[in-house]
A = this chain, B = another copy of it.
């Protein structure tokens, strides 16, 4: 998430696994839209294998799975977010929104105020001896 020049990365860890983060939240958004893991993979330019593994990792980090696949023979094929999946996604987006208010705060303004738009050029590659 970007707040002006500030990049904020929120990752929820379940042991060593990332249960939810920017990429997984975007993936949930796309699965909800595409109603299919294959469609989400295509939309995100990722392999089906990688996409499936990300979904599987998320699913294993919560009491209930976030994405359920529908393998029946009728029209109900593909994937969709469970109620838990929708809850987690909206809570993650709410968390981002809560963090986003720092952009209105004094600390953020103090930093941005003294920062340049672009770094000054590096001097010729001489590392100064110090002490």
Q: A-side interface residues toward B, CB under 8 Å?
A: 5-15, 17, 19-20, 36-38, 48-49, 52-53, 56-57, 60-64, 69, 71, 77-79, 84, 87-88, 91-92, 94-95, 97-99, 102, 105-108, 110-112, 114-122, 127-131
Q: Which residues of B are found within 8 Å of A115, using beta-carbon distances?
A: 12, 14, 19, 61-63
A127 touching B53, Cβ below 8 Å? yes
Q: Which 6 A-B pairs have the closest CB atoms?
A: A94-B107, A91-B110, A95-B107, A9-B9, A60-B120, A60-B119
Q: Is the interface of A mostly helix, strand, loop or mixed?
A: mixed
- Considering the chains assembled together, what is the distance between the CA atoms of A60 and B97 in angstroms? 31
